[in-house]
C-alpha cells in the first residue's frame, strides 16, 4: 500500500469514527404518541428531557388541536 493510500485510508477511518458519535439518538416514535397511557405524569417523567418530550406534553395538554397564532405587528 502506498503512503498516500495509507494516509487517505487512515483519514477516512478516523472521520468515520468521529462522525459516528455525531448522530442523534434515534427516537422511539411509538413512545411519543399522545395516548391516554403516555399522557400520564408518571410516564412523562420517565422520558428524557428533549424536544420530542416537549412535543408530546404539548399534544397531551391540547389534544393536538392547538395551533400557535401568527405574531401580531401592531
Residue 55 lies in a domain: yes
| Three-class SS of 42-67 | HHHHHCCCCHHHHHHHHHHHHCCCCC
* pLDDT by 10s per residue, the chain, length 74: 676 766 655 556 566 655 555 545 556 788 899 899 999 999 999 999 999 999 999 889 888 677 778 888 88
Whether 70 is covered by a domain: the verdict is no
Quick check: is 71 in a domain? Answer: no
Is 42 a domain residue? yes
So what's the pLDDT on residue 21? Answer: 53
Q: Is residue 73 part of a domain?
A: no
Is 1 contained in some domain?
no
Number of domains composing the chain: 1
What's the grid cell of residue 33? 404518541
Do the beta carbons of residue 29 and residue 59 sit within 8 Å? no
Could you tell me the pTM of the whole model? 0.52
- The answer to the question of residue 68 being in a domain is no
Name, in order, each residue with C-beta under 8 angstroms of 37's C-beta and a sequence gap of 6 or more: 43
Per the structure, the complete domain to which residue 50 belongs is given by 27-63
Q: Would you say residue 15 lies in a domain?
A: no
Amino acid at each position: 500500500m502506498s503512503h498516500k493510500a495509507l494516509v487517505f485510508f487512515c483519514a477516512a477511518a478516523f472521520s468515520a469514527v468521529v462522525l459516528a458519535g455525531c448522530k442523534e439518538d434515534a427516537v422511539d416514535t411509538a413512545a411519543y404518541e399522545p395516548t391516554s397511557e403516555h399522557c400520564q405524569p408518571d410516564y412523562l417523567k420517565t422520558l428524557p428531557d428533549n424536544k420530542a418530550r416537549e412535543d408530546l406534553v404539548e399534544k397531551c395538554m391540547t389534544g393536538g388541536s392547538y395551533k400557535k397564532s401568527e405574531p401580531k405587528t401592531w
